[in-house]
Amino acid sequence: MSQNSKSTSFQSIKGFYDILPEATPLWFKLEDVARQVLSQYGYQHIRMPIVEPTELFVRSVGEHTDIVEKEMYAWEDQLNGDKLVLRPEGTAGCVRAVVEHNLTYNGPQRLWYMGPMFRHENVQKGRQRQFHQVGCEAFGFDGPDVDAEQIVLLARLWRELGIEDVELQLNSIGDADERVAYRQTLIAYFEQHADLLDEDAKRRLHTNPLRILDTKNPRMQAICEAAPKLMDSLGDASQQHFEKLCQLLTEAGIAYVVNHRLVRGLDYYNRTVFEWVTTKLGAQGTIAGGGRYDTLVEKLGGKPTTACGFAIGLERVALLMQEYGVTANHTPDVYLVNVGEQAEAQAFGVAETLRSDGLSVVLHAGGGSFKSQMKKADRSGARYAAILGDDEVALGEISLKPLLEQGEQQRCLLAAVRSLINFESV
């Protein structure tokens, strides 16, 4: 390096985080359990690009939503003028992919995805600008059985992750035509109480009045509680859909609370909407949300296809797992200490042999005395130090010393290491 070069250190930008090695075992656990549960329900994995056309979200999530109005990382590509965005959520891209590749040609599809999403939000605990979701979308099922299936799937996921006490909130927001009449009723109601509306509500009154019901402002709780309920103006088909869903959930032993004010922050929903909420994470307590969106596929250029889905916020779920004391660690089976000329020369091959036997092996690199290598073995978190000295090499053997538990050091043939380690851990 040049003597004159100035060193500059960088930090990740606000709201964007590194997930460090000490945290990744818990993430692996979360992702592995999610993968396993989703495949148990027959969901297939799909991966969509992180960058999509801006217009995709304007048309699907909705022009007058927080996401589109103020939270998108959107820009114009300097090379060709394309209007692009870092995806703020996964549903729109998934629908685009389904339509583009005609994935429902041979019948309904159950899909899931996992990955980063981006929203330029105010940063706080459980709310980042880059966050990760596992999302799940079912296409071509009219429901409500598939709505119930996704909720039951989530209940299983929480159980298997060691998470308890998450409340399922449920509502029906009916179909678009049912909402038109309700919208007018709601605007008229809020206009009567205009003096009690905050700035946000005033702004939304004529663009997205249903979202006013979702407000967290304590001063507006009373008027929102007393507002006319959308559920009361639903037609028969929507009512029956909701009643059947409730019945299926009750039969499946899933507790729920009907929250008449739950409308969700994205415009594509109709009929069923739901959220899973915990009180353990402060203000950002919603760990998953979803619902039906029966008109979105057609709106994005596909054949009319009903749909239902949800997404889980992985950072929030990881925080909640920690709250419940769930731990995970990934420790190597063996730290391979090698001292002596012969041993050093053989260590690489020995490590490969042990790995071929299915063990995870950290090979000591960089030389050093036996004592200093053993110190590193201790610090590595490995279950055993496998010691290779010139004596061992001569006999085709290796010495094993337990590091996490009391126990005698013993010498064995290389081929016996795996069974010895597995035997001792039983």
| β-bridge pairing 167-172 and 257-258 | parallel
Name the minimum Å distance from CB 96 to ligand HAM: 13
How many other C-beta atoms lie within 10 A of the C-beta of residue 222?
11
Pairing of strands 361-363, 334-339: parallel
Shortest spacing between CB 147 and ligand HAM, in angstroms: 11
Query: Is 209 an interacting residue with respect to ligand HAM (CB under 6 A)?
Result: no
To the nearest whole angstrom, how small is the minimum distance from the Cβ of residue 291 to ligand HAM?
A: 6
The structure tokens listed for 393 are 């090499």
Which of residues 143 and 290 has its CB atom nearest to ligand HAM in the complex? 290
Contact status: 380 vs ligand HAM (CB under 6 A) = no
Q: Name which position in 289, 297, 388, 400 contacts ligand HAM (CB under 6 A).
A: 289
Residue 137 interacting with ligand HAM (CB under 6 A): yes
What does the alpha-carbon distance between residue 411 and residue 156 come to, in Å, rounded to a whole number? 46
For the bound state, the minimum distance from the C-beta of residue 16 to ligand HAM, rounded and expressed in Å, comes to 11
**Closest distance of CB 326 from ligand HAM, Å:** 17
Taking the least distance from each CB to ligand HAM, the nearer of 214 and 344 is 214
Sign for the pseudo-dihedral over CA of 197, 203, 207, 211: negative
Cα→Cα distances 7→3, 14, 18, 301, Å: 10, 22, 21, 52
CA 216/CA 85 separation, integer angstroms:
28
Closer Cβ to ligand HAM, 94 or 386, answer by number: 94
Give the nearest residue (CB) to ligand HAM.
Answer: 313
Q: Which of residues 45-104 bind ligand HAM (CB under 6 A)?
A: 89-91
- Answer whether 268's CB lies under 8 Å from 63's CB: no
> Does residue number 290 form part of the binding site for ligand HAM (CB under 6 A)?
yes
310 near ligand HAM, judged by CB under 6 A: yes
Binding mask 107-126 for ligand HAM (x = CB under 6 A): ------------x-x----x
Residue from 54, 128, 172, 238 in contact with ligand HAM (CB under 6 A): 128
In whole angstroms, give the CA distance from residue 262 to residue 212: 10
Task: State the minimum distance, in angstroms, from the CB of residue 1 to ligand HAM.
Answer: 39
Which parts of 248-287 interact with ligand HAM (CB under 6 A)?
265-266, 286-287
Binding of residue 316 to ligand HAM (CB under 6 A): yes
User: In this chain, which of 133, 171, 272, 346 binds ligand HAM, going by CB under 6 A?
Assistant: 133
Is 135 a residue that touches ligand HAM (CB under 6 A)?
Answer: yes
How many residues lie near ligand HAM (CB under 6 A)? 26
Q: Is 295 in the site for ligand HAM (CB under 6 A)?
A: no
For ligand HAM, the closer CB: 287 or 347 = 287
Q: Binding string to ligand HAM for residues 150 to 189, with x set by CB under 6 A, is what?
A: ----------------------------------------
Q: Looking at 201, 288, 385, 400, which residue binds ligand HAM (CB under 6 A)?
A: 288
Shortest Å, Cβ 58 to ligand HAM: 15
- Closer of 86 and 339 to ligand HAM (Cβ): 86
Among 40-48, 52-60, 205-213, 306-314, which window interacts with ligand HAM (CB under 6 A)?
Answer: 306-314
Binding site for ligand HAM (CB under 6 A): 89-91, 119, 121, 126-128, 131, 133, 135, 137, 265-266, 286-291, 309-311, 313, 315-316
